[in-house]
Structure formats: C-alpha cells, structure tokens
Structure 1
Amino acid sequence: MHPFRHLLAATGAVVLLTTLLAACEGEDSGPDAETVRAAEPAGLAAAPAGDVVAASRFLLESASAVVLVPAEEPQAALDRALDLGVPALPDTEPGRAEAKRLGARILAADDPAGAGADPIERAVRPTIAATGKPSPELLAIADLGDADLVRIATDPRRHAPSAKLLRRDPDGALLSLGADDYAVRVVRADAQTVGGGWFATRGKHLVAMYGHPSGPALGVLGEQGTKASVARVRKLVRKYRKAAPDEHFVPAFEIITTVAAADKGPHGDYSARTEVSDLEPLVDAAEKAGIVVILDLQPGRSSFLTQAKEYESLLRRPHVGLALDPEWRLGPKGKPLQRIGHVGANEVNRTSAWLAALTRKHALPQKVFVLHQFQTQMIRNRDRVRTDHPELSTVIHVDGQGSPGAKFGTWGVIREDAPASVGWGWKNFVDEDEPMLDVSQTWRRVRPHPELITYQ
C-alpha cells in the first residue's frame, strides 16, 4: 500500500479537497474500509484548482463516503476525512450534489459512526482503484496555486494533444492523473531524442559505424579520425535515405568502450577500460553533428552493471546509450576466445534498471539499450528480460557473420520467442561477410526492417 497523500485546494482560507494515492489493482480493502474510485485516467481534460467540486468531478468516479467541511472551523472535518481516507467537500449545495453523484454517504466530523453507518473501530485501508490498470502512482500531486488541474494521457509522448498542452506551459503547476512522471518531465523539458521525437528508435532507423577510436583492428569506426568518421557515417546514412526515401534514418557510432583482453589487466577481469577522456572527442563530435552514441561493453569477468557505472558521466549525456555484448561476458575462470560468453536475464535487468533510473532522474531523452546476440545461449532466460522501461528502447542486435544464408538463418532463430516490445538490429561485417549485403540488399531483404543497422 502506498502511503496516502492529500491534495489541498484552497478557496479563501478554507482547505477543501482531500484525495489519496493508489493501491494495487483489485486489492480487497476489507469491509471496514472506505473506498474511492479514480476517474478513467485516459484522455485530456482540465479543471480549475480553486473549484473543489469541479476537481472532484475531474478526479473521482465514486466514493463510499465523504466528509462535508463547513466554512467556519473546518479543521476537525478535514482531519476526519484524512483519517478515513475519503474526499472532503464543501458543505454547500454543490458539495452535497457532488456527494450524491459519487454515491457517497455523508459523514459528520463529530459523528465517528457516520450517518447510519456501523461504528468504525480501527483504522481503515483506503483504496483508489483505476478503472484501467493503475500506474505505480495514480495521482502525482503538485502545489497547484492558481493553476489548473490537468489530466493527460498515460504516456504523453504518444499523445500529441497531451504533449502540446504540457509544452504550452512547461513550468506551470500540474496534477496529472494516470500519466508517467518521466514522460511528463521529458515532454515539458522538450527533451527530444537525436533525430527528433520522444523515442530513441520508434519511427526511425539508426545506421551505425562500430569500432574503437584507437585504430582499425576493432572495426570501421577506428579506420579514420573523428572528423572523417562523422563524414563517413553521414554518407552511409544518405545511401539508406536514397534506398528508402520515406523512412527516417539517423547516424550513430557504436563505440567499444571496454575491450576483451588477453591478459587480466589492472582490474583482473580480462577487460581493458578506455578512459573517458579518450572517448570524449568522439562523443563531443557526435553530439555536435546529431549522431547517436552507443557505448559497447565487453566486460570479461566483470559485470555489465559494474562497468556501466564507470561510464556514468557519459551515459548522463542526452545522446549516449548503452550496448551489452554477452559474447565477452566470461565466467569466473573464463578467458576471451576460449568460448562464446553469456549473461543471465537478472544481470541484464539490473543493468537496464540502473540505466532507466539514471535517465529518469535527469529527465534525459529515451536511450537505446542494445543486447548483442547471435546464439540462443548468449542471453539465458531471455523471456525474463524486462523491456518495459519507458526510459529505454531495447534492441536485440543479431550480429552474426558469414554468408547471407547463414546470417539469415541466425536472424530467424534469434527472433523466435523474443521478449515483447523489442526492436531489432542487424550487423554487416565489411571483411568477414561472404559477401556483405549492400545498402539496397540490406533494406530489401532484412525483415522486419531493423531499428539498428551496424557496420563493423
């Protein structure tokens, strides 16, 4: 049960409306509990904050009881409503009419049994139940002052009228019913992703160059300097735009950030860290050029979460996402190239939860979260991988190499029984594929069209 809070809307000196936060859907509040049912959270509406009856109509569908608050000496009635967890309405004709609409019996502040009700001898457990699936916090309470109460869509990023309303007064006071707090904050801050919009991959396709800035051995991103890399990925994106003029393509760099190593190294985990200062020139240039950055982790015997935290300063930047490469996630005695590594769903979920929390805390645009996989065993218990973080766009990157036939076979196997709501990534190996698909072939033959197309 969430602790209840109350919304206080003032008319003169009289505080008039109390309402509560959500409990779990379908929870039985017990025969001694007063109940309050919230209005359907979908849709778009507003009500003036000073009009408590209007606010009640706006927020509430029904209530088992209410307390009427007199204009003179209202505190006892307000305390009574708070104790019971029921709305407090003004003791006026409109207030009594609203109590009737709610189907509520009227409780007096000095009558603990209420009007004909059985005595309530112990604390009640008030419940607000959404008519749909409740969000973790059904009501987000703000100090409204003279502002309006605003009800917006559950995810205003997906509802243009809600987004427009939020952007109209980004600093104004707000009480939102049913909306995700993170989505509200990024819309109000106009924190859009690279390429525009609120989503990292929805309605767009990232075209990435993969590698390490130290040189060409680890991929095409290291085959030229920073300025030339920007020019090269832009040229690649133009080819895709020519092949599919109606689609939205966005350039990206996938930077190998920790590199699987032949020796233990200073951390004893067979994974070499790249200093943040060595990555910043490429990350800075990408931000200036409108290029997404994806930090790729090859953790060796370390964990993905441990290494991700080492690059928090970069991941706090709006255009930087994260990729996990289980091929290089070793067991406690493993060494690189002895066998293909793997990771469990729990470790993936701990990492995504941390990244989502970081993104939410700083109201950053949605980040791309990539999971590399070309064998089924690389992500154990994959059906348990969470893909529901609104802060992240999860992409499974099928990065096998070889002939087109072999690659399409891998593509089909990895896509079977995938978690819900994932996007897909395809990798073209410039030297290892036999032969590599060209731009037109990649776009025509790889279906569904990938959200992430990478070149290594």
Structure 2
Amino acid sequence: MTSCGNSQATNEKKGDSAGTVVSNSPASASNPGSNATPFSSMTPIDTAAYDRILHELANGDSSGKWPVKAPYPTPGAILPYHRIVAFYGNLYSKRMGALGEYPKDEMIAKLKGEVKNWQAADTSLPVIPALHYVAVTAQGAPGKDGKFRARMPYHQIDTIINWANEINGLAFVDIQVGLSTLPAEVPLFEKYLSMPNVHLGVDPEFAMLGKGGRKPGSVIGTYNADDINYVIDYLAGIVKKNNIPPKILVVHRFTNPMIRDYQRIKRVPQVQIVMDMDGWGDKILKKSSYLLYEKRDPVQFTGFKIFYKNDIRSGADQLYSPQEVLSFQPKPIYIQYQ
C-alpha cells in the first residue's frame, strides 16, 4: 500500500552524515544510575493482572492469535500495565513530527492533552507520556561514507531525556539506518539504553541494504527476523547487565514485506515488542492496514500512529479518536502522534 507510508524519508538535517556522532560523551548518560525514575522499579510481575489485561487488549478477537503467547516479562515491566502515548519527531525538523514542530512548552502541553484524552477513553490502564526521538535519520544524499543516514548529536538526546523526566515520561531513541546496519548504529546508544526510562525504535522503511543501493524513500525498506532478533538480544543483554526493567522495542510496520519471517522473531522476558502501524491515510486505509499487518501477523503488542497532517490530506476525514482506536482488535497499547 504505497499511499500509507512515512513521507518524511529525507528531511534535511544538520547531523553528521559522515558516520561520526557529533559528540562522543553523552553527558546525561554518563551515570545511568543517577537518573532514578519510577520506571526503574523492579516490582515483581502480577501474572494474574498480566493475563487479564492481555485478554482485555485482545478485545474479543476470536482468531486464536490474540493474546500472543510469550514468556512473562522480568520485574518492572511497563507493558501491558500501562498505555504509552508518544510524540514523534526530530529537533532539527519541523516536518518530521510534533516533537520538533512546536516549541517545547507548546509541544509538552499538546502531548499532555493527548494523554488526558486517552486516559479518559480508557480508565483501566494508566497512560504514560513519551518522547520518541529520531536519533539516526535517513537521508536523500549519501554523505561522506555513502550510508544515506545522519546521526544526531548526543546533546539532543540529553535534551529529550531531560524533557521526558520533567513530565515523568519515557524517551525512545529511533533509528533509520539507510545503507548502514543495526549492529553499526544501535550500540552507539548503549549508555542511553542503560537508563530505565529510555527505549528503542527501529524503522525498516528506511533499511536499504538488499535494495540495490537505492536511496531511502525511493522504495520501502526491509528487515528480516534475524535483524530484529539481533536488536532483541542486544537489549536483553543490557537489561541483564544493568539489572533494569525490560526494554520496549518499537518496530514500525505498514506492509507485510517490511518484516520478513516475522514468525521467527524472538519473545524474551527482557524485551517487550510493539509492532507499530505507522502508515498514513484515511480512516478506512489505516484500519485496513492495521488488520492486515498487525492483527493478522502477531508478534507481541501493537501500536498505532496518528499523523496530524498526512491523515487528513484528502480533507474528507478526521483523525481517529481514542475511542475509535480502542475498538480495534486487538487494542493498541502504544500510540504515536507525528
């Protein structure tokens, strides 16, 4: 479905597309233990509540695919005990999403408003705000090393984490690899991912290896299960090493081929996987995509992205409301606004 993609593939950035992180000493990440947050709690898992919430999220699904069978998470798990509502974007671009489009105070107020709306729509789950920051962005130009991606400076990640802490929220670092690889990019953020309130997103749309050297945005990219399993193993290692709660991994998906062999994706206690339907379009297109690529191909949890501008391009439809999204089977537990 070509009309339901992320149209922000090649935004101009001031990061270092030559493959060197602008700053190699992330200040706020130097001592992960110094940022004590409610998300560092190692509360034992209430398995009865876990099972009950998963059943409620399945929302009457009769296919037998939901809830997904997976091991119980390690202590301190955020999901499924909370719903997450996130703003997505990059501080260098007003076109990539709400996170960079609005001044800080306006953006935070708008995010809090969305959190309030979702909390009112479903009082059974506490709603956590989140800032989902694209730290490695796909580019239309190859850069000095020919990788078609730019790494953002660490001080921006410090800023996002500080903002998230101010609102008692989560931070996500998102990666668009271009012609680079996940093993080359993910470890650059280990100090951040060692913090209890920092999680990870990966975007196969802009993964161009195996696409004949084409630049991001010219075709839809692909990860396979081995790519995702590498990230899962890496995050699980961080959780074990630092004795912290499970990490959340958001994987963007709006077509089936974006994630090949999804059945082989691992489910481990240290990582909670959200498959995020992040395509844009009218309501019928978006719901159809959700049913085809999230409900039909289960991994663990589901997410749903709402585009403030792209979803209403035709002018014939309004944005999905929380109440409407909560009628889906299964109910998304991660909501992202761009």
Describe the SS at the equivalent of 2:195.
Answer: coil
- Which of 248, 252, 255 is equivalent to 1:368? 248
Q: Which residue of 2 aligns with 1:331?
A: 209
Q: How does 1:409-420 map to 2 (within 5 A)?
A: 409-420=288-299
Q: How does 1:371-450 map to 2 (within 5 A)?
A: 371-387=251-267, 389-420=268-299, 422-434=300-312, 435-450=317-332
CA contact (8 A) 1:369 1:395 kept: yes
Q: Which residue of 1 aligns with 2:4?
A: none
Describe the SS at the equivalent of 1:256.
Answer: strand
Distance 1:222 1:392 in 2: 28
Distance 1:267 1:285 in 2: 32
- What is the number of equivalent residue pairs in this alignment? 267
Question: What is the percentage of aligned positions where both structures have the same residue?
Answer: 26
Asked if 1:283 corresponds to 2:171, the answer is no
Normalised TM-score (structure 2): 0.74
Say if 1:419 and 1:413 are closer, same or farther in 2 by CA, change over 3 A: closer
Q: How does 1:338-349 map to 2 (within 5 A)?
A: 338-349=218-229
Distance 2:98 2:283 in 1: 20
The structure with the larger Rg is 1
Describe the SS at the equivalent of 1:216.
Answer: coil
CA contact (8 A) 2:129 2:167 kept: no
Q: How does 1:237-276 map to 2 (within 5 A)?
A: 237-276=115-154
The alpha-carbon deviation at position 318 of structure 1 amounts to 1.0
Say if 1:417 and 1:433 are closer, same or farther in 2 by CA, change over 3 A: closer
Deviation per CA, 1:41-92: give whole Å up to 9, x if none.
Answer: xxxxxxxxxxxxxxxxxxxxxxxxxxxxxxxxxxxxxxxxxxxxxxxxxxxx
After the TM superposition, which of the residue ranges 365-374 and 332-341 deviates more from structure 2? 332-341
Describe the SS at the equivalent of 2:248.
Answer: strand
The alpha-carbon deviation at position 159 of structure 1 amounts to 5.5
Normalised TM-score (structure 1): 0.55
Distance 1:438 1:340 in 2: 25
Describe the SS at the equivalent of 1:336.
Answer: coil
* One-letter amino acid of the structure 1 residue matched with residue 247 of structure 2: K
Say if 1:226 and 1:318 are closer, same or farther in 2 by CA, change over 3 A: farther
Q: Which residue of 1 aligns with 2:91?
A: 213
Describe the SS at the equivalent of 1:339.
Answer: coil
* One-letter amino acid of the structure 1 residue matched with residue 89 of structure 2: G
Q: Which residue of 1 aligns with 2:231?
A: 351
Asked if 1:296 corresponds to 2:174, the answer is yes
* One-letter amino acid of the structure 2 residue matched with residue 300 of structure 1: G
Distance 1:440 1:365 in 2: 28
CA contact (8 A) 1:430 1:436 kept: no
Say if 1:403 and 1:302 are closer, same or farther in 2 by CA, change over 3 A: same
The alpha-carbon deviation at position 438 of structure 1 amounts to 4.1
CA contact (8 A) 2:283 2:320 kept: no
Distance 1:417 1:440 in 2: 22
Q: How does 1:119-268 map to 2 (within 5 A)?
A: 156-158=44-46, 183=74, 198-268=76-146
